[in-house]
Amino acid sequence: MKKTLHRCLAFWLCLLTILALTSCTKPITETDAFARLQDAVKKSKETEIYYYLKTEFADKTSGKLQRTTEVNLWAVTEETSSTPVLKDGAYQNYKLSIKGTEKGAELWSWLCGDSSSADGGVSQSVLFYTDWRKERTPGLASYERNSKPYLVKREEHLSDFLKSEVYAPYSLSAQLTELSLLTADDMDFSVPSAKTTVLGELVKLVFGVRKEYLAKYKAEHGGAPSIFEGSAHVEIDLTYGRVQKIALFVPSNVGVFKSPKETLRWEIFYLGSRFDIPKYDVADANNAANDWKDAPVLAGAPVGF
- The pLDDT tens digits for 22-67 are 457 788 999 999 999 999 999 999 998 999 999 988 654 554 667 8
Q: Taking a C-beta distance cutoff of 8 angstroms, is the pair 37, 237 a contact?
A: no
Q: Does some domain include residue 1?
A: no
Q: Does some domain include residue 105?
A: yes
Average model confidence (pLDDT) for the chain? 81
CA dist list (Å): 188 to 177, 195, 238 = 19, 10, 18
Count of structural domains within the chain: 1
Cα 280 to Cα 277: distance, rounded to the nearest angstrom? 9
Taking Cα atoms as reference points, which of 135, 113, 137 lies closest to residue 125? Answer: 113
Q: Taking a C-beta distance cutoff of 8 angstroms, is the pair 127, 161 a contact?
A: yes
CA dist list (Å): 209 to 37, 236, 266 = 14, 13, 18
Q: Taking a C-beta distance cutoff of 8 angstroms, is the pair 152, 292 a contact?
A: yes
Asked whether the predicted pLDDT for residue 15 surpasses 90, the reply is no
Q: Does some domain include residue 20?
A: no
- 10 Å CB burial of residue 148 (0-12, 13-18, 19+) is exposed
Q: Taking a C-beta distance cutoff of 8 angstroms, is the pair 186, 212 a contact?
A: yes
Q: Does some domain include residue 133?
A: yes
**pLDDT at residue 203, as a whole number:** 96
Q: Does some domain include residue 13?
A: no
Model confidence, pTM: 0.82
Q: In this prediction, what percent of the chain has a pLDDT beyond 90?
A: 43
At 281-293, the pLDDT tens digits run 876 544 444 444 4
Asked whether the predicted pLDDT for residue 77 surpasses 90, the reply is no
At 187-241, the pLDDT tens digits run 999 999 899 999 999 999 999 999 999 999 999 999 999 999 999 999 999 999 9
Q: Taking a C-beta distance cutoff of 8 angstroms, is the pair 148, 157 a contact?
A: no
Q: Does some domain include residue 60?
A: yes
**pLDDT at residue 146, as a whole number:** 79
* CB environment 23-56: b (16+ within 10 A), e (fewer): eeeeebebeebbebbeebbeebbeeebbbbbbbb
Q: Does some domain include residue 5?
A: no
CB within 8 A of 281, min separation 6: which ones?
117, 118, 119, 121
Cα 129 to Cα 135: distance, rounded to the nearest angstrom? 15
Domain that holds residue 263: 26-294
Q: Taking a C-beta distance cutoff of 8 angstroms, is the pair 243, 267 a contact?
A: no
**Average pLDDT value for residue range 153-178:** 91
